[in-house]
Amino acid sequence: MLVQFPPMGVYETLFKFADATSKYMGDHGTHPWAQGYPLTSQLPGGPSLPDSIALNNLDLKYPKATGEIELRSAIADYYNDYYSANITPDHVGVFAGGRPGLLANLAFLESDVCVALEETEYTPYWDMLRLLNKKVHIIPSNISNEFRPSDSDYDIDPVEGSKRVLLLKSNPCNPTGVALSPNRLKNMVEKYSQPGRGAIFDEAYEFYNDPKPMSAISYVKDIDNTDIFIVGAATKGLQVPGMRVGWVIAAEKHIELFRNYSSFGMGGISRPSQLYVTELLEKSRVAHARQAVCDFYKSQRERYQTGLLELGFELFTGCGGFYHWGLLPNNLTADEFNERLFKHDAGILPGYLCDMQRDGVSASPLDKFIRFSFGPLEADSFDNDMKILSECI
Ligand SMILES: Cc1ncc(COP(=O)(O)O)c(C=O)c1O
């Protein structure tokens, strides 16, 4: 009675790892290089993470469908303070993480809208677009353009059978770490603010950008007159993937639609989680967190870059995110590499799982690519990480 559907690529890798090692990747003693989560502990020079929140009986009631006003105000203030966004809490819809916001956004697209996305992108986009049976336009992002599409690659006509185009883009990109320069982002926002165009800027890695965090919202003139959606989450920047809190910033009429969706499909998001995240967005704390995340992960990006290059990887990583994206040495495939890594309780994400054109049957041009995550790694794991990597190539 149900349509069969495979697990999302990252989880597929976690399940393979569990079968091979009888361990869950991320548990103590494993090397979770396939995993996309940040350290959930205090970073060097960063703020601590609260270890409790106070609740009373009123906090246990059903939460509001669009999100609690404390959190929506904190999010709106945050974007107004850092990006002069000129938004109110009515432009903010809260979801149980980034993915549920993305899925709801895509699910409500009208049938004449096609989705344009880069060839190498965030793994679950593939699942979402397949499940929702969307018409897609693929923007070249491969070894021949070094995973850096040109401006003209984003000049897209609606694909056959559709009339309008929605761009779906992670920025900085997961898996490549490539981020648009401020000027290119500005042009992209202008291009996709035109009639017949819309865009989802997925900014899960907003804080993880060198030299500083950035957001497409800086360049949106009047969000109510656009189909621009900014997706954010507490998952990476605020270091709390377990809280399951994400948000979409969009025109008020779109947020109203998400409220309606929540009323029948979601029932709101855990209020304790929302209260916790509201605390993390307190003004001086969030300023502190932005700086610490940016600084710590820049130093980790640079260290692992040097280490991986010395081992013979060819890297294509940009200036953002917490992944290295590269081609394996010695003609190894990512699956062969993982078989070796699993023996050390380690594993990477095979590059083909970020191939938005994969069909699971034919070979992918990304078979020999890997996404190496340094997100969950403590600063002192580097030497041991390099030892394992070196033994496995
Ligand atoms: C590009 C991108 N968008 C959104 C998310 C949101 O994740 P979550 O649903 O865990 O909040 C992630 C997390 O891996 C991501 O990498």
Among 99, 203, 243, the mutation site with the greatest number of ligand 1 atoms within 8 A of its Cβ is 99
* pLDDT band at 198; cut points 50, 70, 90: very high
**Whose alpha carbon is nearest atom 6 of ligand 1?**
98
* pLDDT higher than 90, residue 361: no
* pLDDT higher than 90, residue 136: yes
With a Cβ cut-off of 6 Å, ligand 1 is lined by 36, 97-99, 122, 170, 174, 202, 204, 233, 235, 241, 246
Among 174, 201, 240, 244, the mutation site with the greatest number of ligand 1 atoms within 8 A of its Cβ is 174
Q: 216-251, pLDDT tens digit by residue?
A: 999 999 999 999 999 999 999 999 999 999 999 999
Q: Of ligand 1's atoms, which has the minimum distance to the CA of residue 122? A: 1
> How far apart are the C-alpha atoms of 197 and 44, rounded to whole Å?
42
Q: Of ligand 1's atoms, which has the minimum distance to the CA of residue 245? A: 11
> How far apart are the C-alpha atoms of 3 and 88, rounded to whole Å?
40
Is residue 139 within 8 A of residue 118, CB to CB? The reply is yes
Beta strands in the chain (DSSP E): 92-95, 113-118, 136-139, 164-170, 197-202, 228-233, 246-249, 314-315, 323-327, 349-350, 369-373
Domain 57-285 falls under CATH 3.40.640.10: yes
Q: 337-351, pLDDT tens digit by residue?
A: 999 999 999 999 999
> How far apart are the C-alpha atoms of 318 and 325, rounded to whole Å?
9
Per-domain residue ranges of the chain? 9-45+290-392, 57-285
C-alpha of residue 225 to centroid of ligand 1, in Å:
27
How many Cβ atoms sit within 10 Å of the Cβ of residue 348? 25
pTM attached to this predicted model? 0.97
**Whose alpha carbon is nearest atom 12 of ligand 1?**
204
Q: What is the 3-state secondary structure (H, E, C) of 8-70?
A: CHHHHHHHHHHHHHCCCCCCCCCECCCCCCCCCCCCCCCCCCCCCCCCCHHHHCCCCCCCCHH
Give the closest residue to 275 by CA, choosing from 78, 101, 50. 50
C-alpha of residue 67 to centroid of ligand 1, in Å:
19
User: Domain 9-45+290-392, what fold?
Assistant: Aspartate Aminotransferase, domain 1 (3.90.1150)
